[in-house]
Amino acid sequence: MAWCCRRWRRVLICLCMPCCCLVFMYIFLAVLITMSMTSVTITQSFNEPTTSHFAAPGASGNDSVAPVPKTFWEQHLPDDAVWNKLQRSTDNHFNSILYPSKAKKVSERISFNDTLLKQTFSNIMSLERVKKNLEKLPREIKRFITNMQKRDYPVLIRPRRVCGAQAKHETQPPLILLAIKSRELNFKNRKAIRETWGQEGWVQGQKINSSDKQLVGGYVRRVFLLGKESSADLGVDITDVLRKENLRFGDILQWDFKDTFFNLTLKDVLFWNWFSSHCGQTHFILKGDDDVFVNTPKLITYLHNQLNKPQVSGTLENFMIGDVILAAQPNRDKRSKYFIPPSFYKGVYPVYAGGGGVVYSGLLARRLLNISQTVHLFPIDDVYVGMCMVLLNSHPLHHPAFLTFDISEKEEDEPCSYHSILLVHKRTPEQLVALWTDMEKTREQCKDAPLRDT
Ligand SMILES: *[C@@H]1O[C@H](CO)[C@@H](O)[C@H](O)[C@H]1NC(C)=O
Ligand SMILES: *[C@@H]1O[C@H](CO)[C@@H](O)[C@H](O)[C@H]1NC(C)=O
Ligand SMILES: *[C@@H]1O[C@H](CO)[C@@H](O)[C@H](O)[C@H]1NC(C)=O
Ligand SMILES: *[C@@H]1O[C@H](CO)[C@@H](O)[C@H](O)[C@H]1NC(C)=O
Ligand SMILES: *[C@@H]1O[C@H](CO)[C@@H](O)[C@H](O)[C@H]1NC(C)=O
């Protein structure tokens, strides 16, 4: 064994080299583990264990509770990706080992304001290396970064009633709010939705079995989420037309930000904010595009069942179902509207539900609002929601009756095919109306059609 001895004053100090090495290695490993530990793993100890997640019936058994990549944005530590850098800097703040004095903050992550995001943003953006990196980014991403700290856009038009279009007298808390992403000029889409699957008021569900005399149904509310087109681009100012539309239907919620693809995430965070302060005890939210078809009666029945399941009460705060996408890679094709360059984001995307149509609980919306105050905006809206879900130690559940990538032609031709789904993308306003008429006609004939399974 190699001994290293030194005489210090009158004492002979001897150390065993391998022991020193071991000690140093241990310290090094401890530090390494600490550094790579994300706040995600820390928050877990404060939340419920993952096993308590509610699995949607009809979803694919064990597959629906797929492993969540808990460290999705930490996979490439030594990188220049701007978003990863920003988020890591924010997450480190909640790391009790890096910041022992602030350890308490970890449990408080859910009740944080966005001061921290502003602070980490200015810290990271002032780094020379980041500044150089920024210059090389595509124009749209640059524009996104310039505005990514701002979330307090004022409301331009708000629904006439407090939480969107709703029945005059609701005798119980509304079952669902349909929150539909629309754009100023999509008048026809909104009209078709109002006349078909998006009617407000009491909606009768379908009886689960014919001998069951219980009336299943629920109150539906509706709101369209709009940004603003620039009048310079449009050539006209259509504000007055929209105001009139809202006067008549009472379902327009418009904010003063430019309605671009990369700004869609704002329709999530601003919506959560509005929902939390206006929509009381609304049980569920359907957030979707204005070109989807929804089988509302079936959805009502499905959600009604979720609500009445005794085991659900504790887990409804994690409830999110949709068309779930696992371990997606960012799109690196420059011509795609989903294009995200590696210098902006590296790593896989978290588990997320396709943004064409997703259903979650009102309880979850409030939690998402809070946690989003510690997550930097990301240009792809549904991925952003997935990121927030990971921090809540939760993830969406896949349901095969959500078809955000359309139905195959063969299946479409089968009788009752549309009665076995909850949502399908994408349909023109004319198709919506035709489909709805057809569904009404075949409702009796197809009343026992079960929901799609795997
Ligand atoms: C799910 O997994 C557990 C244990 O891995 C197994 O016992 C159970 O049968 C599985 N359930 C289904 C529906 O496959
Ligand atoms: C969200 O944060 C606010 C204020 O910090 C807090 O009062 C509220 O209880 C939090 N809500 C949830 C669902 O965590
Ligand atoms: C945000 O939180 C910090 C402390 O975490 C506090 O000092 C600040 O006043 C808060 N800002 C707002 C606008 O509430
Ligand atoms: C139908 O509902 C009734 C009353 O709830 C129940 O007793 C019966 O078992 C159900 N039948 C089927 C086939 O599920
Ligand atoms: C988002 O909206 C803001 C406010 O209108 C605008 O300045 C910004 O350019 C928009 N961002 C993108 C990426 O279009």
Distance CA 389, CA 384 (A): 9
Ligand having the closest approach to the CA of 154: 5
Q: Establish if 302 belongs to a structural domain.
A: yes
Ligand having the closest approach to the CA of 51: 1
Q: Establish if 120 belongs to a structural domain.
A: no
115 Cα nearest atom in ligand 3: 1
> How many structural domains is the chain composed of?
1
User: Residue 119 contacts by C-beta under 8 Å, 6 or more apart in sequence?
Assistant: none
Regions in the chain scoring below 50 on pLDDT: 38-70, 75-76, 106
Q: Establish if 254 belongs to a structural domain.
A: yes
What pLDDT score was predicted for residue 275? 98
**Residue type present at position 231:** S
Q: Is the CB of 62 under 6 A from ligand 1?
A: yes
Q: Establish if 181 belongs to a structural domain.
A: yes
At residue 374, φ and ψ (nearest 5 deg) are -120, 15
Of 73, 54, 71, 69, residue with least CA distance to 398: 54
Ligand having the closest approach to the CA of 212: 4
Instruction: Give the Å distance between the CA of 94 and the centre of ligand 2.
Output: 17
DSSP assigned state of 16: E
What pLDDT score was predicted for residue 40? 41
Distance CA 270, CA 223 (A): 13
What pLDDT score was predicted for residue 1? 55
Cβ burial, residue 281 (10 Å; 0-12/13-18/19+): exposed
Q: Spell out which residues line ligand 4, taking CB within 6 angstroms.
A: 209, 211-212
Q: Establish if 62 belongs to a structural domain.
A: no
Ligand having the closest approach to the CA of 108: 2
Residue 277, domain extent = 155-317+358-375+405-441
Q: Is the CB of 265 under 6 A from ligand 5?
A: no
Instruction: Give the Å distance between the CA of 182 and the centre of ligand 2.
Output: 29
Instruction: Give the Å distance between the CA of 206 and the centre of ligand 4.
Output: 14
Residue of minimum CA distance from atom 9 in ligand 1? 62
Instruction: Give the Å distance between the CA of 319 and the centre of ligand 3.
Output: 30
Residue of minimum CA distance from atom 2 in ligand 4? 212
What pLDDT score was predicted for residue 189? 98
Residue of minimum CA distance from atom 11 in ligand 4? 209
pTM of the model: 0.81
Q: Establish if 304 belongs to a structural domain.
A: yes
Contact 369, 273 (CB under 8 A): yes
Instruction: Give the Å distance between the CA of 61 and the centre of ligand 1.
Output: 7
Q: Establish if 287 belongs to a structural domain.
A: yes
Residue of minimum CA distance from atom 6 in ligand 2? 111
To the nearest whole number, what is the mean pLDDT of the chain? 84
Q: Spell out which residues line ligand 2, taking CB within 6 angstroms.
A: 110-111, 366-367, 370
Q: Establish if 245 belongs to a structural domain.
A: yes
